């Protein structure tokens, strides 16, 4: 069986959220259904087949780690979080064990991510291990999370600033990326402002029940 990890990017400064009036130390610890946003994401990753689950922290590190208390995830610290998303992705890739053939990249501000969707991405990669990336598509648009094969890791390590998986996918030929239908999921919903938080709270998160290992 192909081993696929998960990297949750949770080191950002939540600048837009704070500028729009958010009062939490970081949007990632704002709560939906009584639970921090980032905890919803990490629980979804843990409820999927992805292993290991690694969370990248940086800004408001203590608050984010406290929000994840008790979860069986590996914590990796990005001291360069202020330089942008790419540094967190690099930190996550460095933290992965050498036997991981690919990794899911999850954003820490997407509380409605579905573990079933994560598993479908892994299934697609297992069926086509020559693919360099697997991406969900909803209403004609690529969403998150995305799966990056190890063959893309070197390219990812060269990203700078706020470049992330989207930049990598844009550079792939059609035959190198597999798209799966994510209709009915929240593959494009994230929380950038207090208004986004209110909207996400109204919908409520998916049921991220844990899988047994």
Quick: pLDDT tens for 21-33: 999 999 999 999 9
Q: What is the dihedral of CA 149, 153, 158, 162, to 10 degrees?
A: 60
User: Would you mind telling me the total number of residues written for the chain in this entry?
Assistant: 213
For the entire predicted model, the pTM comes to 0.92
- On the question of pLDDT at 189 being above 80, the answer is no
CATH of domain 4-202: 3.90.550.10
The full set of domain ranges for the chain reads: 4-202
Q: Is 84 left (phi over 0), alpha (psi -120 to 50) or beta?
A: left
| pLDDT, average across residues 64-89 | 97
pLDDT at 25: 92
């Amino acid at each position: 069986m192909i081993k696929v990890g998960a990297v949750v990017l949770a080191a950002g400064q939540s600048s837009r959220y704070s500028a729009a009036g958010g009062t939490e130390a970081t949007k990632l610890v704002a709560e939906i259904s009584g639970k921090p946003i980032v905890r919803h994401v990490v629980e979804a990753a843990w409820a999927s087949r992805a292993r290991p689950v690694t969370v990248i922290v940086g800004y408001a590190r203590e608050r984010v780690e406290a929000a994840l208390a008790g979860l069986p995830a590996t914590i990796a610290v990005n001291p360069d979080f202020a330089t942008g998303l790419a540094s967190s992705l690099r930190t996550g890739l460095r933290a992965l064990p050498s036997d991981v053939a690919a990794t899911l990249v999850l954003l820490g501000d997407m509380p409605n991510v579905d573990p079933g969707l994560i598993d479908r991405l892994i299934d697609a990669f297992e069926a086509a291990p020559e693919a360099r990336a697997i991406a969900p598509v909803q209403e004609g648009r690529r969403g998150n999370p995305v799966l990056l094969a190890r063959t893309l890791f070197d390219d990812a390590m060269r990203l700078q600033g706020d470049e992330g998986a989207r930049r990598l996918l844009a550079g792939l030929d059609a035959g190198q990326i597999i798209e799966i239908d994510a209709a009915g999921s929240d593959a494009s919903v994230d929380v950038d402002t207090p208004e986004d938080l209110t909207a996400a709270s109204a919908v409520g998160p998916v049921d991220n029940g844990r899988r047994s290992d």
